[in-house]
């Protein structure tokens, strides 16, 4: 059960803040780490979970509040899980278009049957910076990688991520539908269950 009235989200993303506040309702007030600091911690973990914990602890230390962080990205089976924790900076920080181009190049000769992938979201909630028992929730969204971009919505790898249950790319889904199916939605549903909300 939840035993606090506010928490800090270890993200400067206003969209994520709004989405999380909507999911938590009036039970908890969500504040952005941007209210306390503009400095991002270095993500030195070797997994999504490690980086989420690192960001949550940093946010709790800076704000003095319980903190929630997520680390997410794309793991492609044929690439041994790459780009993984380096998803956002796969093409050396050159942005989404460069990341997508690099991914397509890496999979150029990979047949359809071997293009499986999943979006991954790891959430970490800590009550304080030194919390020995963070609440960890993970969400996976299984699909495969297309041979070319499709769709105008979303961001990141969405135009290349084929969603079998909807028979379209993630970037072809309306935002409301994507927010019900996505890796982040799945991880949040688990977290809300753990918090008794």
CATH number at residue 172: 3.90.950.10
User: Which residues line the annotated binding site for Mg(2+)?
Assistant: 42, 71
| Containing structural domain, residue 176 | 6-195
Q: In which residue are the tokens 């969500």 written?
A: 30
Per-residue pLDDT of 133-144, as tens digits, reads 999 999 999 999
- How much of the chain exceeds pLDDT 90, in percent? 77
Q: What is the pLDDT of residue 197?
A: 76
Decide if 67 is inside a domain: yes
Decide if 1 is inside a domain: no
Decide if 94 is inside a domain: yes
Decide if 150 is inside a domain: yes
* Catalytic annotation, pick one of 3, 26, 71, 77: 71
Per-residue pLDDT of 54-88, as tens digits, reads 999 999 999 999 999 999 999 999 999 999 999 99
Q: What is the mean pLDDT of residues 179-195?
A: 91
User: pTM of the entire structure?
Assistant: 0.91
Decide if 120 is inside a domain: yes
**Active-site annotation holds for 71:** yes
Number of domains in the chain: 1
User: Which residues line the annotated binding site?
Assistant: 11-16, 42, 71-72, 155-158, 178, 183-184
User: Which residues line the annotated binding site for substrate?
Assistant: 11-16, 72, 155-158, 178, 183-184
């Amino acid at each position: 059960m939840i035993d606090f009235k506010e928490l800090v989200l270890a993200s400067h993303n206003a969209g994520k803040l709004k989405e999380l506040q909507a999911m938590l309702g009036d039970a908890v007030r969500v504040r952005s780490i941007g209210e306390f600091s503009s400095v991002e911690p270095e993500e030195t973990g070797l997994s999504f979970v490690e980086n989420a914990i690192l960001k949550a602890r940093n946010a709790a230390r800076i704000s003095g509040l319980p903190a929630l962080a997520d680390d997410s990205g794309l793991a492609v089976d044929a690439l041994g899980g790459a780009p993984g924790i380096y998803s956002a900076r796969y093409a050396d920080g050159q942005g989404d278009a460069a990341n997508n181009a690099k991914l397509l190049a890496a999979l150029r000769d990979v047949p359809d049957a071997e293009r499986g992938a999943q979006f991954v979201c790891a959430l970490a909630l800590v009550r304080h910076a030194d919390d020995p028992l963070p609440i960890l929730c993970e969400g996976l969204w299984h699909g495969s990688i297309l041979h070319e971009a499709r769709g105008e919505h979303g961001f990141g790898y969405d135009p290349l991520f084929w969603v079998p249950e909807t028979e379209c790319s993630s970037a072809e889904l309306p935002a409301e539908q994507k927010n019900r199916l996505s890796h982040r939605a799945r991880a949040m549903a688990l977290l809300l269950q753990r918090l008794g909300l």
